[in-house]
Structure 1
Amino acid sequence: MSTVQESLGRVDSEIKSDSNSEKIASEQPLKAPDSSSIDEEYSLSSEKVLNKKELDRIYRKLDRRIIPALWCLYFLTSFGSSYYGLTLTMNKSQGHSLRQTLNLTAKDTSTASALYYVGYILFDVPMNLIMTKVSPQSWLSRIVITVGLVYTCYHVLDNNKGLIAIRFISGVVGAGTWPGMSYYVSLWYPNDRSTKRIGYYFTAAQISAAVAGLVSAGFQKMDGVRGYSGWQWSYLVYGVITMAVGISLLWWLPDRPFKTVEEGNSSYMKLYRKYFTPPHPLNEQERALHRADIESRYQLIQWTFQDVLVIITDLRIWPLIIMYFGVVGTGFGLAVFGSTIISVNNPHLSSIDVSLLYAPIWVFDLCGILLITPLADRYKQHRAFFFSGACFIIMCGMFVTTFAKGSWNKYGGLLIAGFGLGPTVPICMSWASEMFEPRYGDVGVAVSAALVSGLGNLGSVTSTYALYSGWPADVPRLYKYSNMMLVVILGASVIAAIVCHFIKDKVRQKRS
């Protein structure tokens, strides 16, 4: 108590001293400010500008090393998801599409698509938690290698049961990809720089979807070569390339910026770091400045399953999951059935024409990312506004696709929807990191990303299993009701974003 009284006494005396100083100053003529104080203030200001410029240079240097590696990783792992929908219709006129070759029913295709996301959802959180305990670089490489191995096996499929099983396995080995990359970015970049970086490598998904359409057109020309269908050749080539790139990531993608408690100094880790970890991308001086900039990022590395349970019960996680549910459900619905929608709206197009028209949807998606995500980073207090605006653009596109007159007007609606889809997922993931890192630290970023991605992917299950080909009665309606269901879940995402905006700072504040 005496300490408090002494403190209050000092404050009171300082206030009186300040008031007396103001009175004396008012009675004296104004004097020019001391030149030494001006120089000191100018020096401090110059130092801040210099540090800002130096940090910008450091993060650009990291970008050149990290972003291309993550871009290739995401391009290849997302390529298979986009390409699967195209193989259902490849060489359809010759009777050699995946659906025709394996005699797939509508139930088979919807079940296979749904089980892919079931595997993804079940293993998303465990896979991302493992990543916090091991080398993130090696774990991301493992994902790419196993994805390539599994997709290589697609070319030997000969029945519907094999397809259903391998789609589930594909989801299991690919689980943790998206939240893992978000967690990895959070290790190297502060939150106010992360959305733009997530947007940079998120463009890989859009470009891979566009390239999938172009590649599909090319592989259809190989139909019958050495007894393989076009889709078999494409899966074989894709799988081999993906495995090769996954192995190269061991020497390309840098590991953690700083060694953590979990890594320790075991002989195994020393051996691994010696032969499989590339040199740190920054020199000693740059590393010191970088560490000072993100020092708070490394306050809580140790975690227990009680920490995980606390994050799961944090109310703020659920609006983020609903946001992700709506936009990812719409995104994967268009990724898997975009070519089907184009074909239904214009039945006179050949399968090659459909593949070529599928690509521009994702080019527009890329444009949305490049234009909007930098603004969402700069004005991060308005993330809900940017997310909701993008959702309304998607809704507009879906209305045009459904109700416009003329097949080309309907196609224009798909382009509009593609533009709106681009920035939505990066905003979700960076917002999750921003909300959960201050209180929960390392595990907060990892678990929130995995929960948002994993449970949010139930939207993908909904759009691929319950809608489109999984809803036979909607086929004669040209998928009108399926399109409108996507609009409904997008509306839920907008409401969730508004709720998230108001509760983001009001639930479980930072630890004292």
Structure 2
Amino acid sequence: MSDTATAEDAVVARVMRRLLPFLLLMYMLAFLDRANIGFAQKALQHDTGLSNAAFAFGAGVFFVGYALFEVPSNLLLHRVGAKLWMCRIMVTWGVVSAAMAFAHTATTFYVLRFSLGVAEAGFFPGIVYYLTRWFPQSARARALGVFYFGAPLAFIFGSPLSGALLDLHGALGFAGWQWLFLVEGVLASIVGVWAFWYLDNDPSKARWLSATQRELLLARLSQDAQAASAHGPRGVLAALIDPRVLILSGVYFLIQMSVYGVIFYLPQQVAALLGANVGAKVGFVTAIPWLCAVLVTWVVPRYADRHGQHRWLAVLMLVVAGAGIAISGLAGQPVISLIALCFAASGLIAAQPLFWTFPTHYLTGAAAAGAIALINSLGSLGGFVAPMVRTAAERVYVSTSAGLVLLGFVAVLAALAIIVFVRPAHASVFPYDKPHDKRAKAS
């Protein structure tokens, strides 16, 4: 390996140590605040009288507000910088999430869930775009993989926390589900203020890098941007109507259907397996599949970056996830169901950082900001559809496993869509599966 490559690897490693732990913390709180209603479900429904259908609609309507404001939010981030905009996003979503403690009617529940989506809009695609400003293509899957730890870590640490907060029922006159929303919402706002002082908008502003390191990193990122712009849309409008972007939005929609169809109901599913109420015990057991997901997501993106196999590994992970989801519903034994959920969580989480390397190969600048937001916003509507589809399947077939089997099929369908539409044989159209340069293969 050349001296330049060694120096570049050292800079990338330094950037990872500086940025990724904090971005990971931000994503953990984001995931926790959007998914904690899975823990609050039974107690919230008991206290407020929400029906299963009303809960499913409220759980999913978050994604409507999220989808509507994704693109403008990400374009604003591109304009004003990540540190200011991430601070705004986290503080506002923390306030709205805390306000969920007072959602005593169905209407209030719907309004606050929709508002939470509006407040959080732009967070995830903003981070994906932000990472393209810091990490070369040859290291992007690894960086995205570490960032994606936020989802499983939110459940590894957040599940016991959520369960413990539910056990505070009656303290200071608040129900356990109210403590859940209040504490986790306030935490997000605090970290949002911290983000303003901690983040730098791009490497040129990073005083924790030497001048030589900044120049080396900026030169490498510039090379990647030039390569991307050579075969991708350059303007925002062109990116938003690019067929590749729309196809990837559809694939991500299927992935998100599988993800949130499982996540929103996982605590209740584990509680049913254990024959217990949702609390600290269920919280600890619910963390097990997400611990497996962390381990798999640590290994798979690194292997993909080293060997240039992002496409086929994404397909494999989605097939594994689909099988795990279906088996978790069909297996009659709690241990087998829990093992299947470990495969499901691992496949769903590991597939997503691989997926995001597809669009970032040919998108850069404002076009990347807009297109990444569009893919995420349209894809995230899968989170709106999934709870209702799962509930409908269970009602039609009079079976609690029917919804899970359907969601497992959706994950496999996403894998098939990648095989059909993301084709390395058409490198001029979908140039995803080839390493960007020789060093990406050798590193």
Q: Verify same fold: TM over 0.5.
A: yes
Measured after TM superposition, the shift of residue 365 of structure 1 is 1.5
2:427 equivalent in structure 1: 505
The answer to whether the 8 Å contact 2:253/2:381 transfers is yes
Selected match of 2:379 from 445, 448, 456 = 456
1:125 equivalent in structure 2: 71
Selected match of 1:494 from 394, 402, 415 = 415
Measured after TM superposition, the shift of residue 485 of structure 1 is 1.6
1:210 equivalent in structure 2: 156
Measured after TM superposition, the shift of residue 297 of structure 1 is 4.8
| 1:506 match: secondary structure | coil
2:389 equivalent in structure 1: 466
1:113 equivalent in structure 2: 59
The answer to whether the 8 Å contact 2:39/2:278 transfers is no
Confirm whether residue 236 of structure 1 aligns to residue 182 of structure 2. yes
Structure-2 change in CA distance of 1:227 and 1:503 (3 Å): farther
Measured after TM superposition, the shift of residue 472 of structure 1 is 5.6
Q: In the alignment, residue 308 of structure 1 is paired with which amino acid?
A: V
| 2:243 match: secondary structure | coil
Counterparts of residues 81-92 of structure 1 (less than 5 Å): 81-89=34-42
Measured after TM superposition, the shift of residue 326 of structure 1 is 2.1
Selected match of 1:369 from 271, 288, 297 = 297
Counterparts of residues 55-66 of structure 1 (less than 5 Å): 55-66=8-19
Q: In the alignment, residue 199 of structure 2 is paired with which amino acid?
A: L
The answer to whether the 8 Å contact 1:87/1:231 transfers is yes
Q: Unpaired runs of 5+ in structure 1? A: 1-47, 90-96, 260-278
Q: In the alignment, residue 180 of structure 2 is paired with which amino acid?
A: S
Confirm whether residue 397 of structure 1 aligns to residue 324 of structure 2. yes
Confirm whether residue 72 of structure 1 aligns to residue 18 of structure 2. no
Give the number of equivalent residue pairs: 425
Distance (Å, rounded) in 2 between the aligned partners of 1:407 and 1:508 = 42
Structure-2 change in CA distance of 1:491 and 1:322 (3 Å): farther
Distance (Å, rounded) in 1 between the aligned partners of 2:115 and 2:97 = 10
Structure-2 change in CA distance of 1:503 and 1:481 (3 Å): farther
Distance (Å, rounded) in 2 between the aligned partners of 1:192 and 1:359 = 32
1:263 equivalent in structure 2: none
Distance (Å, rounded) in 2 between the aligned partners of 1:504 and 1:322 = 19
- The worse-fitting range, judged by mean Cα deviation, of 250-259 and 165-174 is 250-259
Q: Residue deviations 1:209-238, cap 9 Å, x none?
A: 222220122113311011101111122121
The answer to whether the 8 Å contact 1:82/1:209 transfers is no
Q: In the alignment, residue 9 of structure 2 is paired with which amino acid?
A: D
Counterparts of residues 346-425 of structure 1 (less than 5 Å): 346=274, 348-352=275-279, 353-380=281-308, 382-425=309-352
Measured after TM superposition, the shift of residue 476 of structure 1 is 4.2
Q: Unpaired runs of 5+ in structure 2? A: 432-443
Counterparts of residues 285-324 of structure 1 (less than 5 Å): 285-297=212-224, 307-324=235-252
Distance (Å, rounded) in 1 between the aligned partners of 2:238 and 2:125 = 19
1:13 equivalent in structure 2: none
Selected match of 2:207 from 280, 284, 287 = 280
Q: Residue deviations 1:261-307, cap 9 Å, x none?
A: xxxxxxxxxxxxxxxxxx53212121122222222356699xxx992
Distance (Å, rounded) in 2 between the aligned partners of 1:415 and 1:59 = 31
Q: In the alignment, residue 336 of structure 1 is paired with which amino acid?
A: F
1:201 equivalent in structure 2: 147
Selected match of 2:258 from 302, 318, 330 = 330
Q: Residue deviations 1:305-344, cap 9 Å, x none?
A: 9923322332222332232222221111111011222234
| Aligned-residue CA RMSD (Å) | 2.2
Distance (Å, rounded) in 2 between the aligned partners of 1:400 and 1:488 = 11
Distance (Å, rounded) in 2 between the aligned partners of 1:191 and 1:205 = 23
Measured after TM superposition, the shift of residue 442 of structure 1 is 0.7
1:143 equivalent in structure 2: 89
Distance (Å, rounded) in 2 between the aligned partners of 1:508 and 1:502 = 6
Structure-2 change in CA distance of 1:475 and 1:220 (3 Å): farther
The answer to whether the 8 Å contact 1:106/1:472 transfers is no
Q: In the alignment, residue 49 of structure 1 is paired with which amino acid?
A: S
Measured after TM superposition, the shift of residue 108 of structure 1 is 1.2
The answer to whether the 8 Å contact 1:474/1:482 transfers is no
Distance (Å, rounded) in 1 between the aligned partners of 2:91 and 2:207 = 23
Measured after TM superposition, the shift of residue 502 of structure 1 is 4.1
Normalised by the size of structure 1, how large is the TM-score? 0.78
Distance (Å, rounded) in 1 between the aligned partners of 2:407 and 2:307 = 28
The answer to whether the 8 Å contact 2:203/2:217 transfers is no
The answer to whether the 8 Å contact 1:321/1:456 transfers is yes
The answer to whether the 8 Å contact 2:40/2:166 transfers is no
1:249 equivalent in structure 2: 195
Structure-2 change in CA distance of 1:66 and 1:306 (3 Å): closer
Distance (Å, rounded) in 1 between the aligned partners of 2:409 and 2:29 = 31
| 1:223 match: secondary structure | coil
The answer to whether the 8 Å contact 1:368/1:421 transfers is no
Q: In the alignment, residue 177 of structure 1 is paired with which amino acid?
A: F
1:477 equivalent in structure 2: 399
Structure-2 change in CA distance of 1:486 and 1:195 (3 Å): same
| 2:36 match: secondary structure | helix
